[in-house]
Structure 1
Amino acid sequence: MTKVQKSEPVSVWDLAAPLLEGPIWVDRDQALWFGCIKTPRVHRYDPASGERRSWAAPGQCGFVLPSADGKFIAGLQTGLHRFDPVTGGFELLVDPEPNLPGNRLNDATVDSSGRLWFGTMDDGESAATGTIYRLGADGRAVASAPPVAITNGPAVSPDGRTLYHVDTLGGHVYACTIADDGSLTDRRLFVSIPNDEGYPDGPAVDAEGCVWIGLYTGWGIRRYSPKGELLETLRMPVDAITKVAFGGPDRRTVFATTANKHHDAEQAAAQPLAGNLFQFEVDVPGVAGTEISVGV
């Protein structure tokens, strides 16, 4: 088995955050952006200069993704917001679930056609009220997957034809075919992970079409082939990895967001780096990102 990991993970931003999520490398400013959910923030990390910036968010922030107008779309508990880092302002665009105030937005991706895909979840992490949505050209959110308690992802294959999404509590990762009109067909089980091995969290896809899954309480990151074969497990120094993103000039730097909200005092003392941002180098690059251009 060929291993892609070239260096050990190191902490690059000591945030000690309860729950980081949604890392994304933004090409236009060569920086990593991500959210902090429980202490609502948008974070930006520039590895070249070492600059670290943060903005307060008006609600739990699961993701922030670049849009074609030069701004960002942020997923907050109350819905999709346009975020302007120049002013620090947030403007509500759409609340996909006004009837579910106990839900929040959790994770997202953009496909090669510029369409935003995002998930919602029960903030109490028990009720099956979370759904995967696609933002339509008319600016409305289209429910696109059966409900579960905690959604994660989605992630999209390099050819733009397959979407992966995660049922975290169930331990399942699903694959769907993306039709030309953006609808999802042929939903099938991609992989299952027993809960005692860690809960599958945010997925990402590399240039070979392999799917990377962060493990919550699983001490690592798994890399699966497009056929669902486990190729490699990358050990991490903390137990909860929420998602990875490929970045750097050649997209061979992996950034990993982590969490510590589930730790008691003993666990917190044993894992002082939990809740930080990590990075390490790999042989296989990620895929260039796409800005949101549909529905915004």
Structure 2
Amino acid sequence: MVIQPEPVLSLGAILGEGPVWVKRDQSLWFVDIKAWRIYCFDPATSAVRSWPTPEQIGWILPAKDGAFAVGLQSGIHRFDPATSTFELVHDPEPHLPGNRLNDATVDRDGRIWFGSMDDAENQDSGRIYRMELGHAVDMGVSPVCVLNGPAISPDGTLLYHVDTWKGLIWRSRIGQNGCLSETRVFAEIETGAGFPDGPVVDAEGCLWVGLFGGWGVRRYDPDGAMIGQIAFPVANITKIAFGGSDLSTAFATTARKGLSEAELQAQSLAGDVFAFDAAVCGLPTAEAVLP
């Protein structure tokens, strides 16, 4: 059976990113990095809400206190949708004003694992951090230009992170103390297949990754072998999130960024949100602990 993603939200996002299914409101939350905007989409009613952000925003994650943790260019903030307010929690890179936060996930203990990148996409200045108790710790992974992820295995012992420009997906072991070790290449995207973007892990421990410029999404087994690929009618797929009542619907954000006028005319759905039956369940989104 060929899986065909269907558009579910016409948006035309410049750089749609960071989709996450939030159980408490049964909605998909995501961002448009270059439009400085947060979105909430309820697939049951097709209702959409949105909020402007004061800076570029890389990701949004639910927090245990009912608010949200968001990654703005200047650091991690607490976002309250009811008041549309942002409160700085921590700036991990005050010495790197050209960087911005790009992607993130939360582990079972409520710790936020997130990455940064060079906004100009020229310098290898992107790093991985773990934030707990209001402070971010540099995890010591070699810096890259565009870092995507991280994503965490179902048992919480493995961290996947992406060097987008070099086409590499890395895997590190998470120790009991939260430190990383045994970092190695998990999978490599071949030349011409696009660039690996946001990763996410399903309930079977397999890794899904969006392909920017690759017209699809790939699935890799825990050993790093590609076991599936889903084709899209648009080139830039940034990331998927598992949602719906049983977490088996995959929602995908896409982007118009980098497309020429001719390409945009040929890809009228670029920047829209898509959905498809993943035939496998995802993992519930953990809630972040904010100070």
Q: Give the TM-score range, shorter chain.
A: over 0.9
User: Is the aligned partner of 1:112 residue 2:108?
Assistant: yes
Which of 50, 55, 59 is the equivalent residue of 1:54? 50
Which of 247, 252, 256 is the equivalent residue of 2:252? 256
User: Is the aligned partner of 1:270 residue 2:247?
Assistant: no
Q: CA deviation at 1:212?
A: 0.2
User: Is the aligned partner of 1:219 residue 2:229?
Assistant: no
Q: Equivalents in 2 of 1:197, 1:31: separation in Å?
A: 31
What RMSD, in angstroms, separates the aligned Cα atoms of the two structures?
A: 1.1
User: Is the aligned partner of 1:142 residue 2:137?
Assistant: yes
Q: CA deviation at 1:282?
A: 1.9
Which of 9, 20, 26 is the equivalent residue of 1:24? 20
Name the SS of the counterpart of 1:196 in structure 2: coil
Deviations 1:156-178 (A, max 9, x none): 00111101000000110011111
Alignment coverage as a number of residue pairs: 290
Which aligned segments of 4 or more residues in structure 1 are displaced greater than 4 angstroms? none
Q: Equivalents in 1 of 2:255, 2:198: separation in Å?
A: 12
The correspondence of residues 235-250 of structure 1 with structure 2, limited to 5 A, is 235-250=231-246
Q: TM-score, normalised by structure 1?
A: 0.96
Q: CA deviation at 1:181?
A: 1.5
| Structure 2 match to 1:189 | 185
User: Is the aligned partner of 1:174 residue 2:170?
Assistant: yes
Q: CA deviation at 1:195?
A: 3.6
The correspondence of residues 52-131 of structure 1 with structure 2, limited to 5 A, is 52-131=48-127
Q: Equivalents in 1 of 2:8, 2:191: separation in Å?
A: 29
Deviations 1:145-202 (A, max 9, x none): 2100000000000111101000000110011111112111111110011242110000
Q: CA deviation at 1:288?
A: 1.2
| Structure 1 match to 2:201 | 205
Q: CA deviation at 1:249?
A: 0.4
Query: What percentage of residue pairs aligned between the two structures are identical?
Result: 52
Q: Equivalents in 2 of 1:261, 1:170: separation in Å?
A: 19
Q: Equivalents in 2 of 1:95, 1:114: separation in Å?
A: 18
Give the unaligned 5+ runs of structure 1.
none
Q: Which amino acid aligns with 1:79?
A: G
Q: Equivalents in 1 of 2:111, 2:103: separation in Å?
A: 14
Q: Equivalents in 2 of 1:102, 1:214: separation in Å?
A: 25
Q: TM-score, normalised by structure 2?
A: 0.98
Q: CA deviation at 1:243?
A: 0.4
| Structure 1 match to 2:153 | 157
| Structure 2 match to 1:14 | 10
